[in-house]
Amino acid sequence: MILVFGSLNMDLVMQMEHLPQPGETVICPGYVLKAGGKGNNQAVAAARAGAKVAMAGALGRDGFGDSLAARQQGEGIDISLIARGEAPTGCAPIAIDAAGENFIVVAGGANLTANQAAIPQEKLGSGTLVVLQMEVPHAENWALLARAKAAGARTLLNVAPAAAVPEAALGDVDFLAVNEIEAVQVARALGIMEAEPLSAAAALARRYNLACVVTLGARGAALVTAEGGWRVQPLKVEVVDTTGAGDAFVGNFAAALDAGLAPEEALRRASVAGSLACTAVGAQEALPRAADVDAKLAGVPAATPL
């Protein structure tokens, strides 16, 4: 089973001719509501990949919260660990101009009240893969990682958005998922001054005895361990929108691990899923299903050793 502890947001997407300047009001035709939040997206990605998924986090007692909970249930996700409180559901107004430039304001809301202590200990056994990101209070992540590791669960931390991770927390991480910028930032915060992403990933893997998964955009992805690692190429697609590609990658990587696949094969499936997520507009709308990945898997060669 996969247990995702993370954020749930409602995105309000507004198209307009130009972005407002300070003090300016810009009228646009309307807005579209889209489910978001990295935890939410990764839970849906893993569920569509065929995994049994439970979501832990926090929503408000409001219409946005009702909608997000219903959407997760519609994906077959267990929402019994999502708390409902007085803080409003997380929300992200997103303004996009005619040239595709945007600005985004994220109101954390209920996400800032997410409490890992509400997760029962029996959910953290050896059959669980715990997946975390960085859009809930970081101290809650570190506490959950320690509990999960002690209970025998596997752990996957996606350091997005990038932030410093304490050394003690990294000692509780089995899989550290980062993009090429985040790999360098996490390493430098720990005194590892490697400027090249895979070198930084290798240093993190050696120091903390973990596997570091690095997404490399159009250059594919790599999984680096203390002993070596693997590299995969991306699936060649016509890119429409890269929103959610990272979440598709992480969710599918987690689902493949949960299904018992070797890390290098999980990397390959995740690479295909991340590429497919770029072929449609939106984060969750573009997340592929297991059959979609199966159909395109032959388009990506097997992982090669680093």
Enclosing domain of residue 191: 2-8+37-89+109-305
Q: Is residue 78 part of a domain?
A: yes
Other beta carbons within 10 angstroms of residue 211's beta carbon come to 22
**pLDDT digit string (tens) for 170-200?**
999 999 999 999 999 999 999 999 999 999 9
Give the residue, 231 or 217, on which the prediction is more confident.
231
Catalytic residue (one of 11, 62, 174, 247): 247
pLDDT tens, residue by residue, 126-170: 999 999 999 999 999 999 999 999 999 999 999 999 999 999 999
CATH number of the structural domain spanning residue 196: 3.40.1190.20
The answer to whether residue 225 scores a pLDDT higher than 90 is: yes
* Residue type, position 154, single letter: R
Residue 98 lies in a domain: no
Mean pLDDT of 78-84: 98
> Does a structural domain hold residue 230?
yes
94 part of a folded domain: no
Both tokens of 174, joined, read 């089995």
259 occurs within a structural domain: yes
Task: Look at residues 30, 110, 115 and name the one whose alpha carbon lies nearest to residue 81.
Answer: 115
247 is catalytic: yes
Query: In the structure encoding, which two tokens stand for residue 170, read together?
Result: 């990294």
In the prediction, which pLDDT does 274 show? 95
135: left (phi over 0), alpha (psi -120 to 50) or beta: alpha
291 occurs within a structural domain: yes
Highest mean pLDDT among 90-99, 148-157, 240-249: 148-157
Residue 239 has pLDDT above 90, yes or no: no
Tokens of 28: 């646009």
In the prediction, which pLDDT does 58 show? 98
What is the pLDDT at residue 5?
Answer: 98
* Angstrom distance (rounded) from CA 147 to CA 205: 21
pLDDT (mean) for 287-292: 97
Task: Give the SS3 label for residue 69.
Answer: helix
**What is the secondary structure of 77-143 as a DSSP string?**
-EEEEEEEESSPPEEEEEEE-TTS-EEE--B-GGGGG--GGGS-GGGGSTT-EEEE-SSS-HHHHHH
- What tokens does 57 get? 């986090």
3-state secondary structure of 216: coil
Q: Has residue 209 got a pLDDT over 80?
A: yes
Would residue 61 count as lying in a domain? Answer: yes
Peptide bond into 288 cis (omega under 30): no
Domains: count for the chain: 1
Question: How many other CB atoms sit within 10 Å of the CB of residue 105?
Answer: 10
Q: What does the block give as tokens for 85?
A: 């409180």
Q: Cα–Cα distance between 132 and 4 in angstroms, integer?
A: 6
- Return the biggest CA–CA distance within the chain: 56
Q: Determine contact, residues 184/197, Cβ cutoff 8 Å.
A: yes
**Is 57 part of a structural domain of the chain?**
yes
| pLDDT > 70 fraction of the chain, expressed in percent and rounded | 100
